[in-house]
Structure 1
């Protein structure tokens, strides 16, 4: 199961889905409940009040319900906010293994790096109503997700992927709904980060990883890998196959 993150649709997993299927995997790429529709249409409607029916817990419940219908526990690969969803699903024993790819951290894991604070100040909108959705501007997208990429690629991915996001869901990661019990046994978990990721810097992923290492019980496996030159949209950079191949190799090692 490939799990998408905040601010974007699941379309970003397109190449990965095809590639994993070529390697013999059955791949499911669920869209978040309130993100169905064309990105352009959703962008036009972003000033509408966003339903408060969905919060982080219900989005995790949604993915867990899909998993419960499967014949066996899936391997979970989650990007960004999807990486936190992977951690929460493993905490519920819903996966055979998990990959947190450029992952949003668990509650209480924080760094004061400028790029992290700059990237998230607007989306969190602390002084705005949680009913008001956030639509990332192209300039914010360039800084937070696609830094270092040619502008035409940045624009193409902005048009293809970016949709309004629920501030309620984003803020939930900072609260009880985003809490991980690091002392609880879990399936093998891999953190993958990028050296040029502005919104989720490598230092933040490493800090999340170290929380597991410090507290995890005997028998649980948590590993970490950092790639040079990867921004937050690493799944769509020219180097994406190197990341995918590393993840596939790790999966094979853990599921022998």
Structure 2
């Protein structure tokens, strides 16, 4: 029997393991979708393995990660919905601009080329990587205190520490360097096709207390799509930080994404065409 469920590809960002999407996978399955949460290239299967072998994640840049997910998408039986968080949101935008998705939800997305605001909190969140140029070729871990500032500033300390213990893993430094210098590079891998009139709808979501990707950064990305006739929407969550996809308030974010998809006519059983 042909699986007519709409595929959903969940793309995580730096410092979170793909297993952090587990509650989303369960919800999407219950809603009739066919969700997948594949890791980045070289990502070990478990959090413990990723911590034990940090250099397994040391190499990939933005282009490598995009190609990795593009290959997975092309093997699917139908166009997927793309849902990405942080650098996963940047990757989701790149894939959608290339026509490799039915729709995309980019949650607190890392800045694409052309985004100009650079708030202090964003610099401080990235400092554990950017402080040392050698980190470009390394995998870098956060401490619990650094995770608290970058991800868990809008939730209680105890919850932040629990999320750090459950999901935090080393992350490749290369994507952060590429994004940081995107506006100084003619062919930056952080560039997305913002003017594609034929792409699927895009929703940008922003936590307004986010330190890692402040609201002003997401709003600047939203403005870059202003000349495209393709549907682009922005949804903001007051009092939410970068942990909004994994903390105890994740369901409100997921419900916001599902409600938006429904308004675009996309439901769990609506997959009818192949790639």
Question: Structure 1 length normalisation: TM-score?
Answer: 0.91
> Which among 207, 229, 232 is matched to residue 239 of structure 2?
229
Q: Is the Cα contact below 8 Å between 1:97 and 1:188 reproduced in 2?
A: yes
How many angstroms apart in 2 are the aligned matches of 1:38 and 1:249? 31
Q: CA deviation at 1:45?
A: 4.1
Pairs within 5 Å for 1:2-17: 2-17=10-25
How many angstroms apart in 1 are the aligned matches of 2:56 and 2:21? 28
Tell whether 2:109 aligns with 1:96.
no
Q: CA deviation at 1:50?
A: 5.8
Equivalent in the alignment of 2:204: 191
How many angstroms apart in 1 are the aligned matches of 2:118 and 2:176? 18
Instruction: Find the residue that maps to 2:134 and give its secondary structure.
Output: coil
How many angstroms apart in 1 are the aligned matches of 2:43 and 2:165? 15
Deviates more, 1:32-41 or 1:190-199: 32-41
How many angstroms apart in 2 are the aligned matches of 1:40 and 1:71? 32
Equivalent in the alignment of 2:35: 27
Instruction: Find the residue that maps to 2:35 and give its secondary structure.
Output: coil
How many angstroms apart in 1 are the aligned matches of 2:131 and 2:138? 9
Pairs within 5 Å for 1:1-256: 1-46=9-54, 48=55, 51-52=58-59, 54-125=60-131, 127-173=133-179, 174-175=181-182, 176-185=188-197, 186-213=199-226, 215-216=227-228, 218=229, 220-255=230-265
Q: CA deviation at 1:143?
A: 0.3
Q: Is the Cα contact below 8 Å between 1:49 and 1:131 reproduced in 2?
A: no
Q: Is the Cα contact below 8 Å between 2:129 and 2:135 reproduced in 1?
A: no
Q: CA deviation at 1:41?
A: 3.9
Q: CA deviation at 1:110?
A: 2.8
Question: Structure 2 length normalisation: TM-score?
Answer: 0.85
Count, aligned residues: 251
Relative to 1, partners in 2 of residues 1:51 and 1:226: Cα closer, same or farther, differing over 3 Å? closer
Q: CA deviation at 1:12?
A: 1.4
Q: Is the Cα contact below 8 Å between 1:4 and 1:79 reproduced in 2?
A: yes
Q: CA deviation at 1:44?
A: 4.1
How many angstroms apart in 1 are the aligned matches of 2:163 and 2:201? 32
- Cα deviation, 1:160-192, whole Å, max 9, x if unaligned, reads 211111112322234310112322222100000
How many angstroms apart in 1 are the aligned matches of 2:53 and 2:36? 28
How many angstroms apart in 2 are the aligned matches of 1:159 and 1:37? 16
